[in-house]
């Protein structure tokens, strides 16, 4: 190919072709933008629902076991496992025995609303262990787990005990009610073992 042939080549787009392309793009791009925005919005909503579902599952797993283990009186008044700057919702305490029937360990669990973590309150479960019939209780909890991550600031977590305060629940059951910021409310329950 010679240089003159390259200079005389008039390949390319005409003005009409360019205007038609811009008009078609003006129709396609907004439709794609709406699709992308709706996907991102649904992603955030789905993520929030997954957090809420996860919170309910974790709370149910811990709470039922703690209620089953609890000794009388329920709830416990022992505040030695409470964390500073938190508000206790409910406490459970119990004594575990060795194979010979002797007291082996004193255990204490406290569920509390914690506003010191960040801008959003959380529901925390602290588990402490000590020696039976002793004032000694570990200052450091064995576990300190956030059960619900986005608590409602307006509605505090609460508990009720059947059958008098929680109508419709089996006898010896305790129900924890948690409301999250989105308005999602879940209840978890546990039934105390017969003595």
Predicted local confidence at residue 153, as pLDDT: 87
For tokens 């602290």, name the residue: 126
Give dist(CA 48, CA 25) in Å, integer. 35
Give the pLDDT of residue 177: 93
In terms of Cα–Cα distance, which of 90, 65, 56, 66 is closest to 186? 56
pLDDT the model gives residue 147: 92
Q: What is the pLDDT of residue 92?
A: 92
For the chain, the domains span 48-191
pLDDT of residue 5: 58
Give the mean pLDDT per block of 10 residues along the chain (195 residues).
60 85 90 82 79 91 92 83 89 91 90 87 92 73 91 90 78 90 91 77
By the 10 Å C-beta count (0-12 exposed, 13-18 middle, 19+ buried), 43 is classed as exposed
- The answer to whether 106 and 130 are in contact (CB under 8 A) is yes
* pTM, full prediction: 0.74
pLDDT value at position 4?
Answer: 59
Please report the pLDDT score of residue 7 as a whole number: 58
């Amino acid at each position: 190919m010679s240089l003159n042939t390259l200079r005389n080549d008039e390949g390319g787009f005409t003005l009409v072709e360019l205007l038609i392309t811009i008009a078609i793009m003006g129709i396609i791009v907004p439709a794609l933008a709406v699709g992308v925005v709706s996907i991102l919005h649904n992603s955030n909503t789905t993520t929030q629902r997954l957090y809420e579902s996860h919170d309910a599952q974790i709370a149910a797993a811990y709470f039922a076991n703690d209620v089953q283990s609890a000794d009388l009186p329920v709830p416990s008044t022992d505040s030695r496992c409470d964390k500073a700057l938190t508000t206790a919702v409910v406490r459970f305490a119990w004594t575990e025995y060795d194979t010979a029937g002797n007291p082996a360990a004193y255990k204490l669990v406290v569920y509390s609303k914690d506003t010191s973590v960040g801008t959003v309150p959380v529901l925390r479960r602290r588990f402490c262990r000590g020696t039976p019939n002793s004032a000694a209780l570990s200052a450091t909890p064995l576990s300190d787990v956030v059960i619900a991550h986005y608590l409602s600031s307006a509605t505090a977590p609460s508990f009720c005990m059947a059958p008098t305060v929680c109508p419709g629940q089996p006898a010896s059951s305790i129900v924890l009610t948690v409301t999250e910021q989105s308005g999602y409310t879940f209840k978890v329950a546990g039934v105390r073992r017969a003595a």
